[in-house]
Structure formats: C-alpha cells, structure tokens
Structure 1
Amino acid sequence: MLTMGKAITRRRAVAVLTATLLATGLAACGNSDTGDKPADDGKLTLGFSQVGAESGWRTANTNSIKESATAAGIELKFDDAQGKQENQITAIRNYIQQKVDVIAFSPVVESGWDTVLKEAKDAGIPVILTDRSVDSADKSLYKTFIGSDFVKEGKLSGEWLVNETKSATGTVNIVELQGTTGSAPANDRKKGFAEAIAANPNLKVIASQTGDFTRAGGKAVMEQFLKANPKIDVLFAHNDDMGLGALEAITAAGKVPGKDIKIITIDAVKDGMQALADGKFNFIAECSPLLGPQLMDLVKKVSKGETIPQRIETEEGTFTPEQAKAALPTRKY
C-alpha cells in the first residue's frame, strides 16, 4: 500500500512523463505533415516535365528554362521524360502530390492527356503547355500554350521551295524527314509544307518517314531514302538535327548537300545555322527554344489568378545562307 507522499510523487512523475510523450508526439506529427519540405517561404514552385534531350534545340530549351527559373526566384522541379509519354504522366502526378504551385510541360505527343490534366485541375494546380500543344477538346484543362506556330513553319518552308523551283522543268522529287510520330510539330509542319506546295503538281513528296527528331534517326532514314530513290532533288527535314544527320548520309553517298540535294530544315540552332552558312543547307525556318523568360512570367501571372491569352506565339523568322552568316556571331543557341 502506497503512503500519501509516495502516491503524490508517483502522480507527478506520471504527469511529467505524459507531458513529455505528448510533446514528442506532437513534434513527430508535425514532421510527418511536412516530410522533408521546408516551411512555406512564399517562393513559387514550378514542376516542369521536358520531352527529353533529343536535339540541340531541346538542350537549349532546357537550359533556358533552368536559367530563367533561377533568375526569377522560382523553385524548379525538373523531370526528363526521355521521350516517353508515360514518364511525363508519372511526373505530372508526382507534381500534383507534391502540391507545386504551377505545372508546365512540353508534351511528347498530342493525345492522351485529358485524365492527368483533369487531376491537376481538380487539385487546383494550373497547367501551362510549352512548345507543343495537346489535342484535348476541353480547353479548361490548361491555362495557356506558349510556343511556335508549327503549321506556319511548314508553310514558310514550302513557300521558299515553290519560289526556288518556279523555273524548274519536270518533277522535283522531295523526301521528308518527319519528327516524332504523333507530336504536334511533326503533324503541323507536315501539314503546313503540304499546303504550301499543293498548287504545284511538279513538286512531289516521294518518301516521308520519321527520324524522331534525332541526328542518328535522320542519318539512318536518309540512307534508306537514297537507296530506294535514285533521284532526290530536295530534303525537307522537320528539324536541324535530322538534317545534320542526313548530311552525313548524303555525303557518304557521293552527293553534294545543298547542291545535288537542296536541304530545308526547321529550328535554326547553331549547328544548323553553320551548315546553312556553309551552303550545305539552303533554307531554315526559325523555331526559338528560348522560352524560359516568358514561361516564368506566365508562372507568376497564373499563380496570382491573372487572366492570360490561351495561346501565346513566339516571334520568329527565316534564314538563307547569307542571313545565317550575319546572324551566327551573336547566336545564343
């Protein structure tokens, strides 16, 4: 049997122990709520999923986004999808779980995004499409698209060819290196080019195949084109990198790029511009990868709930060999 003094002492000890355990438990609960995430310091967090690193253009685009996020004071969570849509969907879902402020991504392909974009919308996280669009009928699933007019790029390429061959007699045989199958730039550039040359039946696309926007792909497909088609007059490549790969195949086949086979490409990255200045390419329609500064401005605006245009197009031009020579010394990408 406990004495009165001992009972009081024991009750005090239990009370102290209970208070200690309660405080420890509360601290543990607090840690589990935040995980490793620091307290909110008011800094915006952007989750960005990139297509991959398939070209010089894409590398310049990634660098622009990373550098611009740092300059704007925005925390960037970056993911490389390695050219796979399923990787991008996983990344977007991770960003939703992490409760980032804004999600931006450059879609690998146009279709198949409605489900994950609705998940972001339901979570109250605004989405910005960069460089490539989606074909969703529900425009409320994203706030805006920022990038180029791919159809226009294709049209400009075709219009240059129409003008260049207006005095040609006989059929002009064209081969086309398409971008990644199902992607917006591949679909739209093909469409624009076809529309531009449609009124000229002497301009004939005799072969068209994807090179997946890579130099290796461009080289491999051009080798096939050259074996299957003894007379090729023009190559239309959906980006510089495929055109640069095709240069190797054309040279290896004993032909002179830019003369025996005229080459039209899209992007205007440094390597492509150098090939143009050297006379190995004949025409480039520009597609600027430096979207970072505009993207960070949009991130700030959508996070504040500001109204913005649903489509924002970048201003771009075209280049001939002489124009490329003049532009190269100050080219940023």
Structure 2
Amino acid sequence: MPRLSFLLPVALFLTACRPSEEQPQPGAPPVSESGIPLPPEIVEKTGLGVKDERAGIILLLQDTRVALQEFQRNGLVMLVGRQAGYKLTTQDAAASASRQQEQFRQAIAAKPAAIFVSPVDPASLAALIVEAQTAGIIVIGLDKRMLNEGCASIVFSDQHRVGLMAAQTVLDALKRKAAEENRAETTGRVVQIRGAEDSFSTNELAEGFVDGLRKEPGVIVVHDAPADWKAETATLRTAEAFRLQKQFDVIFAHNDTIALGAAKAATDAGQRESVFIIGTDGIAGQKRGMELVRQGELDATIVQPALVDLALQIVLRMRKDKHFKPQAAYEIEPVAVVPKNVEQSLRMGTYKLPKL
C-alpha cells in the first residue's frame, strides 16, 4: 500500500521580535557604571566589570528532556538576545513540582522584570505567583491550567485540540486509503505511543486523539504505550506492538522524536510503507519534525506553537505602554503539516500570533 498523506489548509507564518541595534558588541571592554571603559589591568586584577542592569526575564520550564520545552528555551534565548536592555535566565524543573517551587522562589528573589512559567503543577505555584505580582514582576503562564492562578496573562496551545487535529489528519488519511481500495467504510487499526506514562499534557493529547477518532467507529486504538519521550524507548514499544498486533495502519506518537523512533521499528518490521506515522511539535531544523515530513521519514506532524514568542511581546508591550492591559488568555492554535504543504510551511512559517 502506498504511504498516505493528507492536506489540511493552514494559516502560515511565525513572528519574531525585531533585532535591536543597541546590543553591545561581542568582545567590547568592560565599562564602569558611568560608562567609562575600565583599564585592562583593573579588570584583570580585581575582576570588576559593568554592573548588569538589564531587565531580567526568567523562564521556568517543566522538563527540557521534552523536545518542545528545549525548543522554547532556545527560541527565547534568541529572541531576548535581539532586545537591548534585557537578559534571560532559564531553569529546568525536570518534572519536579517541588524543584519548580524552589526555582520560582529564587526567581522572585532575583527581582526580574518578568517570569515565564511552564508549570509542573500550577496549583503549587499559586501563592508564589501572587507574591511575584505583588512585587511588580510580570508573570506569564504557558499553560491553560494557569488561567485562574493570578498571572498577568497566559499564552497556551490546547493539548486536547492538538490531539483532535492529529485524529482528523489520521481519519482523512484513512478515508483516502479506503477510497483507493474502493471501500465505502473507513477503517483502521491505530497504535498510540505516549510521551510519558502519566502527565497532564500527555493525557490531554491522548484524550483529544481518542475523542477525534470516535467520528469513525471503524477506526480503533489497538495498542497504547508510553515511551518516556525517548526515541529508543519508542522503537522498543512499537516493536512490541508489531509482535502483539501483527499489523496496523497508523502510529500516533506524542512528539516527533518518538515518532522517528516508532518509524525505525516499522522499518525494521518491513511495514514502514503501509503505516501512516504522525507526530507533534513540528519544529524546524535537522532531524526535527518539519524536516522529517519533508524527507518522508514521517507522514505528518502537528505544529505546536512555541508560546514564548508571544509571551515576550506581551512583556515588552506592558513595559513600554503602562496603559496596556493584556487579555487574561491568548490561545494559539496548532497547525497540521503534511508533505503537500511542508515546503510552504518551511518557507513562510506556520502559526499566526494574535495581535496585542
């Protein structure tokens, strides 16, 4: 059976903050607080340098072992680097709510201009968010669960919606397969490879995906296994699925990294050409989701918005315009990318950011 593909219309482009012309040049000599260059011998003997008075932004992440979290960190490093007068610090909670609480306390003590937080457990941060806001720190949440936790605003992409979009992409591919085989009924056996065994985002993705598949009673999930966000584990779990199920039509992996691991197992089983494989994240770059779709290693990906780009725009606007009050929440919708629209997506970007 030929490998399947499906096209969903999408709105395309990814915005970014403009680069600043006021950034200090690399290698510039340290200066005193009055702006006078310090003599090299003083710098060498005393270690004195310029007092860093740039406005701080602190990014608190759930777990950078997850590719999207790493992408958020790296993307924000780039964006903040383009803004004169700002510096960025990032912290990784490694999926520990208690560790993130301590990191949040340390962030408040550092007195930054803003804190962006992708929470492990939003409720555990509620009091700290209020404390930060009281201290004049702008807190931007990166999760829909933070809507009532006191943030200045939240920016999110609904993981249930991501699952629904993945399901719709799968159903359209299976409908195409049925039409090619002159079958009136759309059927399919589906394997789901989760990121983690039990986490909020994983559960939301899985529930959205299963909800979406219910549109077609002939499409059923026959195997469901966690991969702990590791490609190697995804290969093992998918190989187990082949041993137990013998044959299936679709693999939905909770991100592109584990989708690639699942694709390896399908290739090893000699069934890659008969299985539609879809991941999520849709990050650009070598061996990332967009490129994997372009090269045909994956059949589709659902692009997950970075979120930090809009979060930064909100902070810059709030600090520039004291009368600006952001919305309580901004939802950025995911975008499906398949071979038919991947080239355009790589050229023009994918999702649109709402206007502030």
Is the TM-score greater than 0.5?
yes
Aligned match for 2:99, one of 59, 81, 87: 87
Give the equivalent residue in structure 2 for 1:317.
335
Give the equivalent residue in structure 2 for 1:157.
166
Gaps of 5+ in 1: 1-35
Give the equivalent residue in structure 2 for 1:306.
324
Higher relative contact order (CA 8 A, sep 6+): 2
- Whether 1:273 aligns to 2:290 is yes
1:240, distance to aligned residue in structure 2 (A): 0.7
3-state DSSP class of the match of 2:274?
A: coil
> CA 1:300–1:181 in 2, change beyond 3 Å: closer, same or farther?
farther
Aligned match for 1:172, one of 188, 201, 207: 188
- Whether 1:194 aligns to 2:219 is no
Asked if the contact 2:126–2:149 (Cα under 8 Å) also holds between the matched residues in 1, the reply is no
1:173, distance to aligned residue in structure 2 (A): 1.4
Give the equivalent residue in structure 2 for 1:127.
139
For residues 235 and 323 of structure 2, what CA distance do their matches in structure 1 show?
Answer: 47
- Whether 1:107 aligns to 2:119 is yes
Aligned pairs for 1:30-41 (under 5 A) are 41=53
For residues 260 and 86 of structure 1, what CA distance do their matches in structure 2 show?
Answer: 45
Asked if the contact 1:179–1:238 (Cα under 8 Å) also holds between the matched residues in 2, the reply is yes
Asked if the contact 1:67–1:292 (Cα under 8 Å) also holds between the matched residues in 2, the reply is no
1:301, distance to aligned residue in structure 2 (A): 3.9
Q: TM-score, normalised by structure 2?
A: 0.71
Aligned match for 2:223, one of 190, 207, 210: 207
Post-superposition Cα deviations, 1:204-239, rounded to whole Å, max 9, x if no partner, equal 112223223332332232233223322222111121
Asked if the contact 2:155–2:330 (Cα under 8 Å) also holds between the matched residues in 1, the reply is yes
Match of 1:90, as an amino acid? E
Asked if the contact 1:110–1:183 (Cα under 8 Å) also holds between the matched residues in 2, the reply is no
> CA 1:109–1:198 in 2, change beyond 3 Å: closer, same or farther?
farther
Asked if the contact 2:169–2:336 (Cα under 8 Å) also holds between the matched residues in 1, the reply is no
3-state DSSP class of the match of 1:245?
A: helix
Give the equivalent residue in structure 2 for 1:117.
129
For residues 239 and 288 of structure 1, what CA distance do their matches in structure 2 show?
Answer: 13
Asked if the contact 1:107–1:133 (Cα under 8 Å) also holds between the matched residues in 2, the reply is no
Give the equivalent residue in structure 1 for 2:13.
none
> CA 1:206–1:305 in 2, change beyond 3 Å: closer, same or farther?
farther
Q: TM-score, normalised by structure 1?
A: 0.75
> CA 1:46–1:182 in 2, change beyond 3 Å: closer, same or farther?
farther
Post-superposition Cα deviations, 1:264-286, rounded to whole Å, max 9, x if no partner, equal 21121242223322333222221
For residues 113 and 221 of structure 1, what CA distance do their matches in structure 2 show?
Answer: 35
Gaps of 5+ in 2: 1-47, 351-356
Give the equivalent residue in structure 1 for 2:155.
146
- Whether 1:221 aligns to 2:230 is no
RMSD across aligned C-alpha pairs, in angstroms? 3.0
3-state DSSP class of the match of 1:141?
A: coil
Match of 1:59, as an amino acid? E
The aligned length equals 290
1:314, distance to aligned residue in structure 2 (A): 2.9
Post-superposition Cα deviations, 1:247-266, rounded to whole Å, max 9, x if no partner, equal 1222222322xx22211211
For residues 323 and 116 of structure 2, what CA distance do their matches in structure 1 show?
Answer: 16
Deviates more, 1:87-96 or 1:176-185: 176-185
Asked if the contact 1:69–1:292 (Cα under 8 Å) also holds between the matched residues in 2, the reply is no
For residues 198 and 329 of structure 2, what CA distance do their matches in structure 1 show?
Answer: 20
For residues 253 and 85 of structure 1, what CA distance do their matches in structure 2 show?
Answer: 40
3-state DSSP class of the match of 1:165?
A: helix
1:313, distance to aligned residue in structure 2 (A): 2.6
Match of 1:269, as an amino acid? I
Aligned pairs for 1:249-268 (under 5 A) are 249-256=265-272, 259-268=273-282
Asked if the contact 1:68–1:292 (Cα under 8 Å) also holds between the matched residues in 2, the reply is no
Task: Mark the structure with the bigger radius of gyration.
Answer: 1
State the identity %: 21
For residues 274 and 77 of structure 1, what CA distance do their matches in structure 2 show?
Answer: 29
Structure 1 or 2: larger helix share? 1
Match of 1:249, as an amino acid? A
3-state DSSP class of the match of 1:321?
A: coil
Aligned pairs for 1:69-84 (under 5 A) are 69-72=80-83, 73-84=85-96
Give the equivalent residue in structure 1 for 2:57.
46
